[in-house]
């Protein structure tokens, strides 16, 4: 069941979203070759806590980090580690959530480290743009299939594949709420989103095939099955009568 948010709820979600957005900005300004993903995670956590919020992900389902930091062929849920050293030319996907006043924000961005290969830059730009294209059609009454169809067609027409095993979701008092929001689908099908719905739309796009593998050792890290690159972008949206407002966009 979709939980429709009140105006008061949305004001609180905007605050959570702003902290989330600024944590991502701090991550982008901080990420560099030679640092570990654990060090980057510490910077993100320090910022979130400095704003009076707590990291949404830390301890969620047993996840040990404050952010999911996924490098190159890691799609999502990369566990921050002292052993993972970021290198020049890497692409680093950072997924962050901040919880304050009873509500969560959730957002992700893929950063290029230094000079990155052309194929990596093209993948990042396509994934980012697919989210922007989906946002254009989002408003009260939009179907979930409409959103997924836009993302899928945009990315597949450019030679990429859309991850099937993980999807977007509702967000609010809980980090994950109904509905599930796939990044693939058929236009004109699926549930309609009402005014007041808040959803995290997050295309996870692979350079190669769409199949992924979950690490059996840690139970979290998701990699591309073929070892090729993956990019990830995400925003939390509030569905209004004639548009969707981004709640996780830095001022």
Domains of the chain, with CATH numbers?
Answer: 7-246 (3.90.230.10)
* 100 phi, psi to nearest 5 deg: -155, 145
Which residues pair with residue 213 across a beta bridge? 223
Q: What is residue 251's predicted lDDT score, i.e. its pLDDT?
A: 75
Q: Determine the Cα–Cα distance for residues 201 and 237; give it in Å rounded to an integer.
A: 8
Q: Are 78 and 215 in contact (CB under 8 A)?
A: no
Q: What is residue 156's predicted lDDT score, i.e. its pLDDT?
A: 98
Token pair in block for residue 241: 């009568």
Distance in Å from the first CA to the final CA of the chain = 32
Q: Give the residue carrying structure tokens 């295309």.
A: 203
Give the predicted TM-score (pTM) of the model. Answer: 0.97
pLDDT 10s per residue in the chain (251 long)? 999 999 999 999 999 999 999 999 999 999 999 999 999 999 999 999 999 999 999 999 999 999 999 999 999 999 999 999 999 999 999 999 999 999 999 999 999 999 999 999 999 999 999 999 999 999 999 999 999 999 999 999 999 999 999 999 999 999 999 999 999 999 999 999 999 999 999 999 999 999 999 999 999 999 999 999 999 999 999 999 999 999 999 87
Q: What is residue 250's predicted lDDT score, i.e. its pLDDT?
A: 87
Long-range contacts of 219-227 (CB under 8 A, 24+ apart): 220/63, 220/77, 220/78, 220/79, 221/70, 221/74, 221/77, 221/78, 221/79, 222/70, 222/74, 222/75, 222/76, 222/77, 222/165, 222/166, 223/73, 223/74, 223/75, 224/73, 224/75, 227/73
């Amino acid at each position: 069941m979709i939980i429709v948010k009140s105006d008061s709820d949305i004001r609180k979600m905007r605050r959570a979203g702003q902290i989330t957005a600024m944590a991502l900005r701090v991550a982008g300004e901080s990420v560099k070759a030679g640092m570990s993903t654990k060090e980057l995670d510490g910077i993100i956590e320090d910022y979130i806590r400095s704003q009076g919020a707590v990291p949404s992900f830390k301890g969620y389902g047993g996840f040990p980090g404050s952010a999911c930091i996924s490098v190159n062929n890691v799609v999502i849920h990369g566990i921050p580690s002292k052993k993972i050293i970021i290198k020049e030319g890497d692409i680093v996907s950072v997924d962050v959530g901040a919880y304050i006043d009873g509500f969560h924000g959730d957002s992700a961005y893929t950063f290029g480290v230094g000079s990155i290969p052309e194929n990596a830059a093209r993948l990042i730009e396509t994934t980012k743009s697919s989210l922007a294209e989906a946002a254009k059609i989002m408003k009260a009454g939009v179907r979930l299939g409409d959103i997924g169809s836009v993302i899928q067609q945009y990315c597949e027409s450019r030679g990429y594949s859309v991850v099937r095993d993980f999807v977007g979701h509702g967000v609010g008092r809980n980090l994950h709420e109904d509905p599930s929001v796939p990044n693939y689908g058929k236009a004109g099908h699926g549930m309609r989103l009402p005014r007041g719905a808040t959803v995290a739309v997050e295309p996870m796009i692979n350079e190669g095939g769409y199949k992924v593998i979950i690490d059996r050792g840690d139970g979290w890290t998701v990699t591309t099955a073929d070892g090729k690159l993956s990019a990830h972008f995400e925003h939390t949206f509030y569905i209004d009568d004639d548009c969707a407002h981004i709640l996780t966009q830095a001022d």
